[in-house]
Amino acid sequence: MSAYQHPGDPGGAPAYDAVVLAGGAARRLGGVDKPGVRVGGRTLLDRVLAACAGARTTVVVADPRPTARPVVWAREEPPGGGPLAALAAGLRHTTADRALLLSADLPFLDTRTVQGLLAALRDTGADGVQLTDVGGRDQPLVAAYRTSALRRELAALGARHGALAGLPLRRLTAGLALTRLSDPVASFDCDTWDDIATARARIREHGHVLEEWISAVKDELGIDLDVDTGALLDLARDAAHGVARPAAPLTTFLVGYAAAQAGGDREAVAEAARKAAALARRWADEDTAYGTPSGDLAPDATPDTRPDAG
């Protein structure tokens, strides 16, 4: 992913807003509602909203629709007036010094990339930080900008041309001092049905499917907890092998319930998983000590002398 990552506590990081442009015509998709196309069980728009969940305010410039996360809706004037008019409409609802500017068709954008963009903007004197795609092309709609620079250039363009409608985005970026980060995965956007098929296939690959599934479930259930999936998978393996296979899903459910009762944060999950894993290991150790495939007893075990003892 990006070379930059935010080193500190996200809670102590400077605030940022996000503006998501989701009102394009999607001509190469036959005019379908592209932000509503599903990849991995989630709409493309919801996938982008999950990546910028840390934004203080998220503005989506499009006609309102159901989303997994709350957002502020805005619309450019006139509707369909292009990216600069849409950006101006979105910025009216922002107050942070930094803003993400994102398209709504980025299936692989994630929080690490967002943090990388924001950290690079913080660490440089640039007006903005853009990703570049696999061909080295700038992606101004996968970027973080200083809102003061965006407002400055939008005002200048509006004064020069009389209106922002119809102007291409490069008119704005040409007036900005930019830094670039190469990220062919996060910058991948879905313009065609072939792109959609590629995205759907990639998230089902062995190295991605579990992370994708967990992210989708958390979005569906409205859970923001950063779960240690490795610990939970180890627990499920220990319960399945040391107790019985059905014990794995039941144990992980009970761990979740116990964690919720204890406050529901990451530490509560970790503590509940630790206790359950220790119990599963003790259970397995007893099987090893007191029951072998041949039915032998441990040296200090007392034989069962009941009449029906087998």
Query: For residue 13, is pLDDT > 90?
Result: no
Instruction: Using alpha carbons, select from 166, 18, 52, 37 the residue that is nearest to residue 105.
Output: 37
Query: For residue 4, is pLDDT > 70?
Result: no
pLDDT digits (tens, 9 = 90+) for 190-211: 989 999 999 988 888 867 777 7
3-state secondary structure of 278: helix
Global pTM exceeds 0.85: no
Pairing label, strands 17-21, 58-61: parallel
Torsion, CA 93, CA 94, CA 99, CA 101, rounded to 10: 0
Query: For residue 11, is pLDDT > 70?
Result: no
Look up tokens 């107790």; give the residue: 243
Predicted confidence at residue 221, as pLDDT, reads 65
pLDDT digits (tens, 9 = 90+) for 77-108: 888 899 999 999 999 999 999 999 999 999 99
pLDDT digits (tens, 9 = 90+) for 118-165: 999 999 989 999 999 988 999 999 999 999 999 999 999 999 999 999
Burial of 254 (0-12, 13-18, 19+ CB in 10 A): middle
pLDDT digits (tens, 9 = 90+) for 211-268: 787 777 777 767 666 667 777 777 787 777 777 787 778 788 888 878 888 887 888 8
